[in-house]
Structure 1
Amino acid sequence: MEKLIDLREVLVNVEKFSWEDSLFLPPTETWSLDTNCAILNTDDLDDEEEPRFAIDNNLKDALTIQDVQGVVMNIREQHPECTDDDLLKALLHYYQHDAFIVL
């Protein structure tokens, strides 16, 4: 899917994406629910190669969709009534610490 979407859409609908996809985010921006991002499949690229869409939109590979799905599943198991802000907080914690958040 080569289009920009907001991070909220990814977190709320993460189960709709393929496990082969990756989440691309802007490297120089503080991420929020409204941050533009992209879900791209990098399977056909060399390890160090970035997709043209990501380069054109100044996005970097942040996490695999498998990781994002795991983060969302974990926070929903801990707190079934979690908010979109809770999802973002859990994602940021995972990205910064390579570990699930504990509520």
Structure 2
Amino acid sequence: MDNLIELENLLKRVNEFNWSDSLYLPADDVWDLTTKGLVLDPDDVEDEEDDVPKLAKEHDMIDALSIQTIQGIVKNAYEQKSDCTVEELVEAYLYYFDHDAYIDFEKQAANNS
């Protein structure tokens, strides 16, 4: 399957993707920099009862946020830290996925010390 993209590469190049697509990641894995996923049109389903595209379903992947949302996460991260690392982008992505809110890097740093 050559459509796979590592989370790290997606976050570095998120603005190259269509804002209306979604990222699909493995349902039962712990996601990190090297997790491989698919960028697909969420409306590309077999019938109206399907909630994920066939290719994502075949690989046991879930909708792990829209590209438009991920673009916002990355933009917010760079607004907070202009020298944001890819590890911090992944942290910001995972935080948003878990909390439906942008990460506050200063608050996270204080909590981790």
Task: Bin the TM-score by the shorter chain.
Answer: over 0.9
What is the letter of the counterpart of residue 75 of structure 1?
A
1:44 Cα deviation from its structure 2 partner:
4.0
Partner of 2:81: 79
1:101 aligns with 2:103: yes
Q: Point out the structure with max Rg over C-alpha.
A: 2
Q: Secondary structure at the match of 1:24?
A: strand
Conservation of the 8 A alpha-carbon contact between 1:20 and 1:43: no
1:47 and 1:89 mapped to 2: Cα distance?
33
Distance in 2, matches of 1:22 and 1:14, equals 11
Paired position in structure 1 for 2:92: 90
Query: Over the residues paired in the alignment, what is the CA RMSD in angstroms?
Result: 1.4
The answer to whether the aligner puts 1:15 opposite 2:15 as a matched pair is yes
Overall identity of the aligned pairs, in %: 40
User: Which structure would you say has the larger RCO, counting Cα contacts within 8 Å and 6 or more residues apart?
Assistant: 1
Unpaired runs of at least 5, structure 2 = 106-113
Given candidates 57, 60, 66, the residue that maps to 2:68 is: 66
- C-alpha deviation, 1:47, in angstroms: 6.3
Q: State how far apart, in whole Å, the 2-side matches of 1:98 and 1:47 are.
A: 25
1:49 deviation in Å? 2.9
Per the alignment, in what secondary structure is the counterpart of residue 23 of structure 1? strand
Retained in 2: the 8 A contact 1:25–1:59? yes
Cα pair 1:26 1:60 within 8 Å, conserved = yes
